Structure 1
Amino acid sequence: MNKKKRIIPGFGISMGITISILSIVVLIPLSSLVIFSAKLSFSEFIYTVTRPRVLSGYFVSISTSFIASLINVFMGLALAWVLVRYDFKGKRFIDGIIELPFALPTAVAGISLTHLTTTNGWVGQIFYKLFGIKIAYTRIGITIALIFIGIPFVVRSVQPVLEKIDIKYEEAAFILGADSKTTFLKVIFPEILPAIISGFTLAFARSIGEYGSVVFIAGNTPYETEIAPLLIMSELQEFDYSAATSIALVMLAISVVILSVNALAQGIVSKRVNGKI
């Protein structure tokens, strides 16, 4: 049996380089978490990662990240829709500034957002005087910071898919009597749903581990606004590397679960869109 000749040779070398880079950049650093955590016994590990203060940190990080990512789905979809479907002055500028959270140092973002949202800040004083709502040093402030760093993931996931959707499908739906709402729900939404799930998941996973932009605006009050990454930094400052890596290992496991659910959900949605289910 003759093997099919590959059009592009060098698969073995390419795969070897890929695995090597993956091991050096990803697998080896992550395996160090397991090695350091192994210095603790199983009971010590469970005690370390289930202390009330640590559990509170998990809850603050996960809950604010989930809410921020959910908000980003709607905001990101609206931004992507405007950038794809309309032409206006300043479109290129807005399209470029969306990636600012990627380029801006997270500490700079955190300090800027904190100054804006304190009770003396431009935004914070409006909400405090009119509604009695404090933004900075609360979970609301954490959520706002996570919205800031997460929205590019949704926009950049949905935007290319919207650009590829042929307008003729929408025109056909209108000709057949469908209104705008039905056309969006039946024609457009199924096509962009995998991208929305991907953007939400990436923003969620990114937000859970965010430190720089959150630590300034959070206030870091134990059991209230203290996030899990801050607990890791606190353990490192106390030279308790085993505890720090144990908490980090749990955060890693949470991220892996999120990404696995993302892959599973995208697979199911894609099959349904393609009519395979």
Structure 2
Amino acid sequence: MASTGFLSRRHRPSVIPGFRATLGFSLAYLGVIVLIPIAALFVKAGEIGFGGVVAIALDSRVLAALRLSFGASLVAALINGVFGLIVAWVLVRYRFPGKRVVDAIVDLPFALPTAVAGITLATLYARNGWVGGLVGPGTWVGELFGPKGMMIAYTPLGVVLALTFIGLPFVVRTVQPVLADFDVETEEAAASLGASRIATFSRVILPAILPALVTGFALAFARAVGEYGSVIFIAGNIPMVSEIAPLLIVTKLEEYNYAGAAAIAVIMLVISFFLLLVINVLQRWNQSRMQA
């Protein structure tokens, strides 16, 4: 019976026929676009050997750049996870003047060139910028952070700011349709049973949207790890302080050290793959736990 069910599912008619042809085309397309470039990257990094890759990975400058790239990406993704959920909630649950304008603004980081975003953020948050000047020395807000005020641009904080900017739409657009499809009557039933607003959100709404929220978090994190254009203008690019790993790869390429650049790229790829794998495993575990 089990084999019959498997065969029936396997040979179930589809709107678009040609399973073998479409599967072969999909695998060939993924191979050309994804697998072959990644394989070439590993081959190029292999020119310096495993010991050379390990030596580059343990270099203090590379470690500092990797720590900033992944650390800032994680912080930015967490910030977007919180505020992206709030933005999606407002866009789905409330009606207000200019709602469509706000909804369009969310997609602005998608359409805006990353270099333009970086220049704009650096101009706004520099010491002489509109926002950076408000928290600089000589202002009452800046004095809260010490005599020198608060420096945003050309610091790791500026990196987090840029990565938060480019990652927000991923969380909003992932959570928004799930919230729109959520049955409001479930909330009303919980409220009628005496559940508080916090209990309703934490026990009814959050479990339903958590898989989408985790997916948006993972997408924002993955996007931030490889970001280059919007970061280099606001980071300051100071080695051991505000230098990101993608910039270090470009520096290696400018020095014609292609194997070294490939080695850093492979290290980032392995770390990113491991982190995304952990996120997917946790997401599947949460789904199975909720179903149980």
TM (normalized to structure 1)? 0.96
Aligned twin of 1:80: 88
Matched, 1:107 2:115: yes
Aligned twin of 1:233: 250
Q: 1:54 is matched by which residue type in structure 2?
A: V
Q: How does 1:1-277 map to 2 (within 5 A)?
A: 4=8, 5-8=11-14, 9-128=17-136, 129=139, 130-131=141-142, 132-275=149-292
State the shift of 1:37 in Å.
Answer: 0.6
Cα deviations by residue, 1:208-266 (Å, 9 ceiling, x for unpaired): 11110000100011100011001000000011000000000011111111221121111
Q: 1:197 is matched by which residue type in structure 2?
A: V
Query: Conserved in 2, the CA contact under 8 Å of 1:153 and 1:202?
Result: yes
Query: Conserved in 2, the CA contact under 8 Å of 1:45 and 1:246?
Result: yes
Measure the CA separation in 1 of the matches of 2:57 and 2:202.
43
Measure the CA separation in 2 of the matches of 1:94 and 1:76.
13
State the shift of 1:49 in Å.
Answer: 2.1
Cα deviations by residue, 1:36-64 (Å, 9 ceiling, x for unpaired): 01111222221122211000000111111
State the shift of 1:187 in Å.
Answer: 0.5
Q: Which runs of 5+ in 1 are unaligned?
A: none
Measure the CA separation in 2 of the matches of 1:111 and 1:204.
22
Range moving further from structure 2, 104-113 or 264-273: 264-273
Query: Conserved in 2, the CA contact under 8 Å of 1:65 and 1:204?
Result: yes
Q: 2:264 is matched by which residue type in structure 1?
A: I
Query: Conserved in 2, the CA contact under 8 Å of 1:137 and 1:220?
Result: yes
Identity of aligned residues (%): 48
Aligned twin of 2:146: none
Q: 2:268 is matched by which residue type in structure 1?
A: M
Secondary structure of the residue aligned to 1:220 is coil
Measure the CA separation in 1 of the matches of 2:75 and 2:288.
28
Q: 1:134 is matched by which residue type in structure 2?
A: M
Q: Which runs of 5+ in 2 are unaligned?
A: 143-148
Query: Conserved in 2, the CA contact under 8 Å of 1:205 and 1:258?
Result: no
State the shift of 1:113 in Å.
Answer: 0.2
Cα deviations by residue, 1:149-185 (Å, 9 ceiling, x for unpaired): 0111111111111111100100101111111111111
TM (normalized to structure 2)? 0.92
Q: 1:25 is matched by which residue type in structure 2?
A: I
Range moving further from structure 2, 27-36 or 42-51: 42-51
State the shift of 1:6 in Å.
Answer: 2.9
CA-atom RMSD, angstroms? 1.2
Measure the CA separation in 1 of the matches of 2:267 and 2:225.
12
Give the paired residue count: 275
